[in-house]
Amino acid sequence: MNVTLKPEDTRPAGEFKQPSPLLAARFDPTGTYAFASAEDNVIHRWTLADGKRVELKGHKSWLRGLAFSAKDKLLLSGDYTGKVFFWPVEGETPTREVQAHDGWVRALAVNGGEAMLASCGNDRLIKLWSLPDGKPVRTLEGHESHVYNVAFHPTQPLLVSADLKGVVKVWQIEKGSVERELDAKLLHKYDTTFGADIGGVRSIAFTSDGKHLACAGITNVTNAFAGVGNPLVVLFDWEAAKVAQLLKPKQAFQGTAWGVVCHPDGHVVAAAGGNGGMLWFWKADKAEDLFAFKVPQNARDLALHPDGKRLAVPCADGVLRVYDATAK
């Protein structure tokens, strides 16, 4: 992919509608389809070319874990009953179902070799599964709170998991041991007034060269139950295992960064929901955004199209909004 973003030229490139508020979205690896999960427990598959929508039914609860195996042409989806479904990307019924976790599956990831699926959940576990057969490979234990996200390093045999309290663990996949930890605790707060934890690493993404890891969420929380806080992306220097930059909106915004992607051209893009919806574009060398783009409704996730040009933003009004962020 040799595409350069031009954030200030960001413009709508498609709206895909259905009635239920959306929760998460991904493009399939061929770039033919956009998938989005909704509050009606359905995964909606849109053909980008013509907008045709197919409903994938089977989950009995909400889901935010979506991942693909290009090699096996599989969509993997993990739900809040702890189940992971295996779907043919172009099919309409699951071919396999795995009871993966006790409680919510929070996220899924497939490794670069596409032979392994990682899942994480509220049981504080990360589980590894072989693909395409869905057999258990290994369970990684060590988090002390709900594990919100998981990602494979693009070039090293390492896996990253991140939890509610902003603890980021780096695992050696073969040994199943923790190699090191990163501190994203800026994305967590225990609100003593309300007596509850707020925040967590709501989205993670590696840069394609594996030199940076982005963790997104909410910080500066002053009222947990009203969601009064600011979006933040904690960008880590992978080799140094240190925070390289705290990426913040230039203009005040109240809400959570629910999705983050790292574009190969060096842009870090995040989508947020709170007092409206927003997209921000950063470069690693500057804390404040280079450009902010208002989304008409609260954003709940963010996906980058394989063409490197388009971004998908699933919104609280049930619309999957696709934007082209390259030069007009």
Partner 1 sequence: MPRNPACGSTEHVLSRRGFLHGALGVGGAALSFGSLVQPAAATELNKQQKRVLLVWLSGGVSQLETWDPKPGTPTGGPFQAIPTSVPGTHICELLPHTAKILHRLALVRGININENDHGKGAYFMHTGRKQEPAMKYPHLGSVCAKLLTTADNPLPGYIHVTPKGNGGVSKEDAAFLGPRYASLALSDGQAPANITLPDGVSPDAEAQRQELRGLLNDRFASARKTAETEAYTGSYDQASQLMARRHLFDLTREPEKSRERYGNHDFGRHCLTARRLLEGGATFVKVTHTNYDTHHENFDFHIEQLGEFDRPFATLVTDLHDRGLLDSTLVIVMSEFGRTPKINRNLGRDHWGTAWSIAVGGCGIQGGAVVGKTNEQGTAVTDRMVHGGHLFHTYFKALGLNPNKNWYINEQPIPMTDPKAEAIAEILA
Which residues would be at the binding site for partner 1 (CB under 8 A)? 20-21, 39-41, 60-62, 80-81, 104, 122, 146, 193-198, 224-227, 255, 273-274, 297-298, 316-317
Q: Looking at beta carbons only, is 269 or 272 nearer to partner 1? A: 272
CB proximity list for 72: less than 8 A, separation 6 or greater: 114, 131, 132
Shortest Cβ distance from residue 106 to partner 1 (Å)?
10
Q: Looking at beta carbons only, is 249 or 255 nearer to partner 1? A: 255
Q: Looking at beta carbons only, is 163 or 324 nearer to partner 1? A: 163
Q: Looking at beta carbons only, is 41 or 245 nearer to partner 1? A: 41
CB 33 within 8 A of CB 45: yes
Shortest Cβ distance from residue 321 to partner 1 (Å)?
14
Q: Which residues pair with 129 in a beta bridge?
A: 117, 136
Cα 328 to Cα 9: distance, rounded to the nearest angstrom: 6
Phi then psi for residue 224, to 5 deg, are -60, -45
Report the Cα 237 to chain-centroid distance in Å. 19
- List the alpha helices (DSSP H) in 11-51: none
Shortest Cβ distance from residue 247 to partner 1 (Å)?
22
Shortest Cβ distance from residue 27 to partner 1 (Å)?
23
Q: Looking at beta carbons only, is 111 or 297 nearer to partner 1? A: 297
Q: What angle do CA 57, 63, 67 make, to 5 degrees?
A: 90
Shortest Cβ distance from residue 64 to partner 1 (Å)?
10
Q: Looking at beta carbons only, is 150 or 221 nearer to partner 1? A: 221
Phi then psi for residue 225, to 5 deg, are -80, -10
Shortest Cβ distance from residue 121 to partner 1 (Å)?
12
Cα–Cα separations (whole angstroms), residue 237 to 8, 143, 234, 290 = 27, 22, 10, 20
Shortest Cβ distance from residue 57 to partner 1 (Å)?
11
Cα 115 to Cα 72: distance, rounded to the nearest angstrom: 9
Q: Looking at beta carbons only, is 244 or 316 nearer to partner 1? A: 316
CB 300 within 8 A of CB 258: yes
CA nearest to 162, candidates 186, 179, 145: 145
